[in-house]
Amino acid sequence: MDTLPVSIRLNPFKLKEAEGTPVPWNCWGRILSQRPVFTLDPLFHAGAYYVQDSSSMYVGHVFRSLLSDSTRTVLDLCAAPGGKTTDLAVSLREKFGNGFTLVSNEVMKQRASVLRDNVALWGDPNVIVTSVDPAAFAHLRGGFDIIVADVPCSGEGMFRKDPSAQQQWSEDAVLLCSARQKRIVSDVWPALRPGGILIYSTCTYNEKENDDNLEWIAAELGGSIVNLPNEYSDYGVRKSRAGLLLKAGETLGEGQWVGAVVKDGTPGPDRKDGIAPKIKDFHPLISGVHKGEYKGRDFVPDNDWALSLDFDRTLYPMVELDRQTALEYLHRDSIFLPQAPKGYIVVCYRGLPLGFVKNLGARCNNLLPQRRRILMDIK
């Protein structure tokens, strides 16, 4: 397992430089020479980068190639743990600034909790996290310009990385996954506007879950398959019947397949504001920036506010921590800042906020959420 490639993708709004070999199809991707202990890197907890397989980043490349000035409302349908969501968020922010909405959905509650935390660390205030069945989006008719569906699959592309995936594979599992994928896309299809784009991806190789399904979507739901150019054949990317295939051992990372369909119909007027309609109806896990709440007369800032790209750094004192003290904060140990002013303070590592403490003088109250504390030994 130690010989498998490991890659990260930088958050350019927090960190623009890092060691590693560039990923050809993502300017912020880096392939590392060895796997560090990410849990013990405060920059990881600051949302400076995301650990993501380089093949998985190819979906983001396809997304960027299909972006236009009118594709400002996007749904990442099966989004946990958040790799593709954070990649899409960077692409949208680089193109539109604040003029976009990205809805990141995960139906499984436990996985949705992981997604929520990863989105919070990334810090983009234009990402909304929901946890609903794909069918729930159907009433937002035409609400999305692009839907990215990285659907649950039989996982053939993960066999090298995860031997248990091979043990769980069967022909029946492939047929079950293929049927489930059709159901997922059919349920969400009304939410895609006429002329909008569905980007469909899996981490498996077989045609039943990939080319066959994309052709079924185009024929049965109404659309035209996009002829995606293969710009990276020199890096092992293959052209398949209806999309592009990356296979473990042939390319830089693990397995990935991706294709796209344009929905039939005449597009409406270009959307300029990037606002998806009625998302509030879904009771999102994250929507915008929650700054905090009053407890008596005391306003207690929300820890995630400090991580947001919208955070105003002039509002609270900022205190730089060395690596060991930063890890102690992330471990939720008691830290002492005798030279810092009393009250609420933002603690930082290499200039990036990690969160809030309330400095009482003799000690600090740690506002890091308990569920995010480092559990391993930090010494």
More confident residue, 82 or 158: 82
H helical segments located in the chain? 42-45, 57-66, 83-96, 109-122, 163-168, 171-188, 211-216, 303-307, 323-330
Label the pairing between strands 343-349 and 352-359. antiparallel
Residue type, 320: E
CA separation for the pair 48, 11 (Å, rounded):
5
Q: Is the dihedral of CA 316, 317, 321, 327 positive or negative?
A: negative
Both 191 and 319 in one domain: the answer is no
State mean pLDDT over 124-130: 96
State mean pLDDT over 142-160: 93
Average pLDDT of the chain is 94
Tokens describing residue 188: 């969400």
Both 225 and 352 in one domain: the answer is no
Cα dihedral 110, 283, 63, 55 in deg (nearest 10): -10
Best CA proximity match to 9, nearest among 45, 46, 64, 54: 54
Both 168 and 193 in one domain: the answer is yes
Assign residue 117 the CATH number of its domain. Answer: 3.40.50.150
Cβ atoms of residues 25 and 63 within 8 Å: no
Q: Considering the domain boundaries, does residue 32 fall inside one?
A: no
Produce one character per residue of 279-293: b if its CB has 16 or more CB atoms within 10 Å, e if not. Answer: beebebbbbebebbe
The angle subtended at Cα 204 by Cα 86 and Cα 246, nearest 5°, is 70
Question: How many other C-beta atoms lie within 10 A of the C-beta of residue 194?
Answer: 14
pLDDT at residue number 1: 42
pLDDT at residue number 37: 96
| Residue in this structure with the two tokens 């009393």, named with its chain if needed | 342
Q: Considering the domain boundaries, does residue 42 fall inside one?
A: no
Q: Considering the domain boundaries, does residue 45 fall inside one?
A: no
For residue 148, pLDDT over 80 is answered with yes
Q: Considering the domain boundaries, does residue 49 fall inside one?
A: no
State mean pLDDT over 324-330: 98
pLDDT at residue number 169: 85
Q: What is the pLDDT of residues 243-254, one digit of tens each?
A: 999 999 999 999
Q: What is the pLDDT of residues 92-111, one digit of tens each?
A: 999 999 999 999 999 999 99
For the beta sheet containing 364-366, the strands, ordered from the edge strand earlier in sequence to the opposite edge, are: 318-320, 343-349, 352-359, 364-366
The residue among 282, 307, 328 that closes a domain is: 282
Both 261 and 309 in one domain: the answer is no
Q: What is the pLDDT of residues 290-307, one digit of tens each?
A: 999 999 999 999 999 999
For residue 273, pLDDT over 70 is answered with no
Report the percentage of the chain scoring pLDDT > 70: 96
Assign residue 350 the CATH number of its domain. Answer: 3.10.450.720
Both 278 and 299 in one domain: the answer is no
Report the percentage of the chain scoring pLDDT > 90: 86
The residue among 233, 252, 282 that closes a domain is: 282
Q: Residue 365 belongs to what domain range?
A: 295-372
Q: Residue 277: which pLDDT band, with cuts at 50, 70 and 90?
A: low
pLDDT at residue number 279: 64
Both 275 and 302 in one domain: the answer is no
Q: Residue 379: which pLDDT band, with cuts at 50, 70 and 90?
A: confident
**Strand residue runs (E) in the chain:** 6-10, 21-23, 26-32, 49-51, 73-76, 101-105, 127-130, 144-150, 192-202, 223-225, 238-239, 244-246, 256-263, 292-295, 298-301, 318-320, 343-349, 352-359, 364-366
Q: What is the pLDDT of residues 186-196, one digit of tens each?
A: 999 999 999 99
Both 236 and 338 in one domain: the answer is no
pLDDT at residue number 53: 97
For residue 278, pLDDT over 80 is answered with no
Q: Considering the domain boundaries, does residue 228 fall inside one?
A: yes
The residue among 239, 255, 282 that closes a domain is: 282
pLDDT at residue number 276: 61
For residue 271, pLDDT over 70 is answered with no
State mean pLDDT over 127-148: 95
Residue type, 208: K
DSSP letter (8 states) at residue 18: -
Both 300 and 158 in one domain: the answer is no
Cβ atoms of residues 268 and 142 within 8 Å: yes
Q: What is the pLDDT of residues 48-78, one digit of tens each?
A: 999 999 999 999 999 999 999 989 999 999 9
As for how many domains the chain has, the answer is: 2
Residues classed as catalytic: 203
For residue 2, pLDDT over 70 is answered with no
Which segment of 35-44, 154-163, 219-228 scores lowest on mean pLDDT? 154-163
Q: Considering the domain boundaries, does residue 222 fall inside one?
A: yes
Both 300 and 258 in one domain: the answer is no
Q: Considering the domain boundaries, does residue 40 fall inside one?
A: no
Both 81 and 177 in one domain: the answer is yes
| Residue in this structure with the two tokens 């995010």, named with its chain if needed | 372
Both 212 and 361 in one domain: the answer is no
Q: Considering the domain boundaries, does residue 232 fall inside one?
A: yes
pLDDT at residue number 360: 95
Both 82 and 210 in one domain: the answer is yes
For residue 90, pLDDT over 50 is answered with yes
